[in-house]
């Protein structure tokens, strides 16, 4: 170790301490630009890059990058990588099993529009979508449950609410993927009820897989450092932006029921998250005033 490096260690300074913040802002900015392009491509008569499929693929990559970069602001990089690998492996295995056997999501088939496969029958984008859904749903759930952080059952509430938000994410994803983009299609089942051709068992499957993922990934997602971080709004912003993308596609495809549900879910999730952080901040301000008095 050279003299300057030794001096930095002695002073407790990390030259890369600000890198996660820079990367999170960079990835989020790139994601926002690509998000605007993909939203524009949904409108009739507006087709940036024509019929190319790479803009949506790049959006998935940038959403994943923004998600992991934001998470690295609060967790060591090895934790971030371990959590993402756990999510990708479990979700990829479940989606592969689902495409081959119909278990646990119901019978569906991927189309060529979804892009290249990692291996048969798993498209490369699917594990990334799960990473984005799980990590950002957990981040939004943390904001919603912020007033309950001292509760004995906070961990269980966080896992349960995260799974619900993952299912809510899929409620918007399914009409977008099946009707607007035709990335996959569903075979009919014996149950007469569905959500725009998606069998209801699919959402039960998403909840079960989300809970399974959280059971293994949660230890890697817990911050063990004795440093308190301010509320992180990046996951909420990403979750709401993707919800709005699905909402826009539903409106333009005249899927009015889906549009109404997605609007309510977005307003409810965003409102509860902001209320959770506001209530904690208000409680701290009251406590400070009482101490000052």
Contact 111, 180 (CB under 8 A): no
Inside any domain, residue 64: no
**Predicted pLDDT at 260:** 98
Backbone angles phi, psi at 118, to 5 degrees: -65, -45
pTM for this structure?
0.91
Report the DSSP pairing between strands 117-119 and 122-123: antiparallel
Higher per-residue confidence, 147 vs 132: 132
**Predicted pLDDT at 49:** 86
Inside any domain, residue 265: yes
Inside any domain, residue 266: yes
Contact 57, 38 (CB under 8 A): no
Give the domain extent around 156.
80-223+231-275
Half-sphere exposure of 243 (CA within 13 A, CB side): 27
Inside any domain, residue 35: no
- The runs of H, that is alpha helices, within the chain are 3-11, 19-41, 54-71, 77-101, 125-144, 154-175, 201-221, 234-252, 256-292
- Per-residue pLDDT of 139-181, as tens digits, reads 999 999 999 988 899 999 999 999 999 999 999 999 999 999 9
Inside any domain, residue 49: no
- Per-residue pLDDT of 72-129, as tens digits, reads 999 999 999 999 999 999 999 999 999 999 999 999 999 999 999 999 999 999 999 9
Inside any domain, residue 286: no
How many structural domains does the chain have? 1
Inside any domain, residue 146: yes
Report the DSSP pairing between strands 194-195 and 198-199: antiparallel
């Amino acid at each position: 170790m050279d003299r300057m490096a030794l001096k930095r260690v002695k002073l407790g300074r990390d030259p890369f301490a600000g890198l996660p913040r820079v990367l999170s802002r960079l990835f989020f900015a790139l994601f926002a630009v690509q998000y605007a392009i993909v939203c524009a491509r949904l409108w009739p008569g507006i087709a940036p890059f024509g019929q190319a499929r790479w803009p949506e693929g790049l959006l998935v990559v940038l959403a994943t990058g923004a998600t992991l970069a934001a998470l690295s602001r609060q967790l060591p990089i090895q934790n971030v990588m371990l959590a993402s690998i756990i999510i990708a492996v479990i979700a990829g295995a479940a989606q592969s099993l689902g495409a081959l056997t119909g278990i646990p999501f119901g019978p569906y088939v991927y189309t060529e529009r979804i892009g290249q496969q990692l291996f048969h029958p798993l498209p490369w984008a699917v594990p990334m979508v799960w990473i984005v859904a799980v990590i950002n749903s957990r981040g939004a759930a943390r904001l919603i449950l912020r007033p309950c952080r001292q509760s004995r059952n906070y961990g269980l509430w966080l896992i349960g609410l995260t799974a619900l938000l993952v299912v809510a994410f899929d409620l918007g994803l399914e009409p977008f993927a099946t009707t607007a983009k035709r990335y996959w299609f569903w075979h009919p089942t014996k149950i007469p009820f569905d959500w725009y051709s998606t069998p209801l068992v699919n959402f039960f499957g998403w909840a079960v897989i989300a809970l399974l993922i959280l059971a293994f990934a949660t230890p890697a997602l817990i911050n063990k450092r004795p440093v308190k971080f301010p509320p992180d709004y990046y996951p909420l912003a990403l979750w709401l932006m993707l919800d709005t993308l699905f909402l826009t596609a539903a409106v333009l495809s005249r899927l009015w029921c889906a549009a109404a549900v997605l609007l309510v879910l977005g307003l409810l999730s965003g409102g509860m998250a902001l209320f959770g952080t506001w209530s904690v901040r208000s409680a701290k301000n009251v406590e400070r005033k009482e101490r000052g008095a």
